[in-house]
């Protein structure tokens, strides 16, 4: 009888217990709770099995008429075995590396993921699932027991870590059952476990996900120490932000939501909001930004004149030429820009105010900022400004995340200084 050699390089450990394979197949829920009404319950659930091997799990998935199964296998020997012993996989089986697979070419919509994942790439598989979270509402898989416990653990647990936070940000994790080493060929050195991931209702974290991942990965390199120690690799060591009470905790004590708040405490989240403020202020009165641009140009020309013109003038004098032309050209340029600035000021005074008689709701942190910006907005827009104060950038994030609607959001004075420095 034809069999497949287990290849260590591929992390292959073939399941031999048929009852466990059947339990895994039955753990795939149909209808899928994470499909969020995008799947017609009267049609089979699309599913992708990663690494079917010799088809021990595949045969039970194929027996479920409510599952429309596809498979991806990197091992040519396993592909040939499956085609011989399970003719029904023909046209459903793709010989490819899942990590390099462009899923949108394999599935046009959402699909579940199932399989006995190779231990050596299980984390990479999960990161790819996270990247495709809106297309993968459910995952049922067998993985190393230690990894499964880490994924399902709650804050405060000794095994709570990077994978716990990044997975639980998007999925609810159920630890289903433990699988012993003796039911594999060859037997692994550790126990395995079966878990089910179900997509939660969260559509966005409200922050830059790349930096969010960086914060999580950085602080867990020193999991037993306070967050403050790890954050020094991201924030300046003398940053006042490090005094925030959230950084007194150890990484393993923080929930997913706590990590999102820590992201905003760093100011990076506020930076995204400040870009929003810039866009809104530009919408309120484009002349404000045009005027600022002209002022910056004039200052730049002035600095250039102070630093560069004496050098150029000296070189012309060495050649016996007049140095006056060196100063005349930038002086004329400054004069032209100055005229443009005054013309713009006059145009701004004579133009109709875009929001005259309307009300702008402003969310503000910092009295100095409010004293400077609120009168400016009122003068240049003709609108009445209603200002709400908040005590911290975390409070600002929570308000916005809860659906509070504001026309303009102004970060704290300190944050603004950081953003423009």
CB burial of residue 114 (10 Å; 0-12, 13-18, 19+): buried
Q: What pLDDT sits at residue 8?
A: 80
274 found inside a domain: no
> Which CATH number is 181's domain given?
3.40.50.150
183 and 217 both lie in a single domain: no
Structure tokens at 116: 């006995």
Q: Are residues 42 and 148 in the same domain?
A: yes
- pLDDT exceeds 90 at position 109: no
Task: Answer for the pair 89, 71: CB distance below 8 angstroms, yes or no.
Answer: yes
Q: What is the mean pLDDT of residues 36-44?
A: 65
CB-based contacts of 60: which residues, under 8 Å, 6+ apart? Answer: 21, 22, 24, 25, 26
What per-residue confidence (pLDDT) applies to 413? 44
Residues 261 and 190 in one domain: no
- Same domain, yes or no: 311 and 403: no
Those residues with Cβ within 8 angstroms of residue 90's Cβ, 6 or more apart along the chain or in another chain: 83
Average pLDDT (316-324) is 68
Determine, yes or no, domain membership for 138. yes
Per-residue pLDDT at 234? 74
Q: What is the mean pLDDT of the chain?
A: 75
Q: Are residues 344 and 251 in the same domain?
A: no
Q: Which of 199, 234, 253 is the last residue of a domain?
A: 199
Q: Is residue 132 predicted with pLDDT exceeding 80?
A: yes
More reliable by pLDDT, 249 or 71: 71
The total number of structural domains that make up the chain = 4
Which of residues 326, 352, 378 is at a domain's end? 352
Please report whether residue 136 resides in a domain.
yes
Helices 209-219, 256-265: axis angle to 10 degrees equals 110
Q: Could you report the per-residue pLDDT of 272-311, keeping only the tens digit for each?
A: 333 333 333 333 334 444 444 555 555 555 655 655 666 6
Domain that holds residue 401: 354-421
Mean pLDDT within 32-47: 71
Compute the Cα dihedral for 246, 251, 254, 257 and give only its sign: positive
Any alpha helices (H) in 227-355, and if so which ranges? Answer: 227-231, 256-265, 268-284, 286-318, 324-350
3-state SS class at 15: strand
> Domain check: are 52 and 117 in the same one?
yes
Query: Is the pLDDT confidence value at 77 over 60?
Result: yes
pTM, to two decimals: 0.62
Q: Is residue 272 part of a domain?
A: no
Q: Which run of H or E residues covers position 359?
A: strand 359-364
| 20, 155: one domain | yes
- Is pLDDT larger for residue 322 or for residue 36? 322
In a domain, residue 2? The reply is no
Confidence of residue 97 (pLDDT cuts 50, 70, 90): very high
Q: What is the pLDDT of residues 368-380, one digit of tens each?
A: 445 555 666 666 6
Q: Which of 308, 304, 303, 301 is nearest to 323 (CA)?
A: 308
Same domain, 163 and 303: no
Confidence category of residue 421, pLDDT binned at 50, 70, 90: very low
Is 375 in the same domain as 319? no
Whether 138 and 158 share a structural domain: yes
Residue bearing the bigger pLDDT, 269 or 402 = 402
Q: What pLDDT is attached to residue 327?
A: 61
Q: Return the H-helix or E-strand segment holding 123.
A: helix 122-131
CB 199 within 8 A of CB 171: yes
Most confident range (mean pLDDT) of 27-41, 104-118, 346-360 is: 104-118
Percent of the chain having pLDDT more than 70? 60
CA angle 216, 390, 361 (to 5 degrees): 115
Tell how far CA 405 is from the center of its chain. 23
Residues 151 and 230 in one domain: no
Domain containing residue 396: CATH number: 3.40.190.10
Average pLDDT (157-180) is: 93
Residue 115 and residue 74 in contact, taking contact as beta carbons nearer than 8 Å: no
> Among 304, 331, 352, where does a domain finish?
352
pLDDT confidence of residue 344: 52
Tokens 């639980």 -> residue:
168
């Amino acid at each position: 009888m034809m069999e497949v050699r287990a290849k260590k390089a591929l992390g292959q450990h073939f399941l031999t217990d048929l009852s466990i394979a059947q339990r895994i197949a039955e753990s795939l829920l149909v209808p899928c709770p994470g499909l969020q009404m995008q799947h017609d319950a009267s049609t089979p659930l699309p599913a992708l099995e990663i690494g079917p091997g010799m088809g021990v799990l595949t045969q039970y998935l194929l027996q479920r008429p409510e599952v429309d199964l596809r498979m991806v296998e990197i091992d040519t020997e396993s592909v040939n075995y499956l085609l011989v012993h399970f003719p029904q996989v023909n046209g459903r089986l793709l010989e490819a590396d899942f990590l390099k697979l462009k899923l949108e070419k394999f599935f046009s919509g959402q699909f579940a993921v199932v399989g006995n994942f190779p231990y050596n790439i299980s984390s990479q598989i999960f990161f790819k699932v996270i990247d495709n979270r809106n297309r993968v509402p459910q995952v049922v898989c067998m993985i190393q027991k230690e990894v499964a416990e880490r994924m399902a653990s709650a804050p405060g647990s000794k095994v709570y870590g990077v994978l716990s936070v990044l997975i639980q940000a998007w999925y609810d994790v159920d630890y289903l059952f433990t699988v012993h080493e003796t039911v594999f060929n060859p037997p692994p050195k550790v126990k395995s476990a079966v878990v089910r991931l179900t997509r939660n209702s969260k559509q966005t974290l409200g922050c830059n996900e790349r930096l969010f991942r960086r914060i999580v990965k950085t602080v867990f390199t020193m999991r037993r120490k306070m967050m403050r120690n790890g954050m020094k690799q991201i924030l300046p060591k003398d940053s006042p932000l490090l005094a925030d009470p959230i950084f007194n905790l150890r990484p393993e004590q923080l929930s997913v939501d706590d990590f999102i708040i820590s992201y905003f405490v760093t100011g990076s989240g506020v930076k995204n909001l400040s870009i929003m403020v810039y866009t809104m202020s530009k919408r309120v009165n484009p002349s404000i930004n045009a005027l600022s641009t002209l002022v910056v140009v004039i200052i730049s020309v002035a600095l250039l004149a102070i630093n560069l013109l004496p050098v150029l003038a000296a070189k012309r004098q060495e050649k016996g030429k007049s140095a006056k032309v060196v100063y005349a050209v930038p002086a004329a340029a400054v004069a032209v820009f100055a005229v443009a600035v005054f013309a713009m000021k006059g145009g701004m005074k004579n133009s109709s105010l875009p929001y005259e008689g309307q009300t702008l709701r402003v969310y503000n942190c910092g009295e100095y900022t409010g004293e400077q910006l609120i009168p400016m907005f009122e003068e240049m827009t003709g609108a009445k400004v209603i200002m709400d104060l908040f005590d911290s950038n975390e409070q600002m994030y929570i308000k916005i995340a809860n659906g509070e609607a504001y026309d303009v959001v102004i970060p704290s004075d300190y944050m603004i200084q950081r953003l423009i420095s």
